[in-house]
Amino acid sequence: MTPGVVMEIGRQAIEVTVLLAAPILLGSLAIGLIISIFQAATQINEQTLQFVPKLIVAFIILIFAGPWMLQYLMDYITRLLGSIPQLIG
């Protein structure tokens, strides 16, 4: 196994990680921004006000994007495990 192959496997792993984390992170970022704007407009300085909506948004995103995320991860693992014979020999 050459260093180039190791780098390619690492690049693919990082790509999969970013693609799987992006929907949840972007949804939480959006709802956090909306709530922050609301807090600034109303001058409410409660730090825990953002936690529950972010949690709910993350849960909703997992419900809708979860099957896609699981299928994408399973495809990656299947490709990775299927390439072991070529990587060894």
DSSP state of 43: T
- Please tell me the distance from the alpha carbon of residue 65 to that of residue 47, in angstroms, as a whole number: 28
Task: Quick: pLDDT tens for 25-77.
Answer: 999 999 999 999 999 999 888 878 889 999 999 999 999 999 999 999 999 99
pLDDT at 48: 82
Residue 18 has pLDDT above 90, yes or no: yes
Tell me how many helices (H) and strands (E) the chain has: 3, 0
Q: Is the pLDDT of residue 2 over 80?
A: yes
pTM metric for this prediction: 0.81
Task: Take residue 70 and report the two structure tokens written for it.
Answer: 């699981």
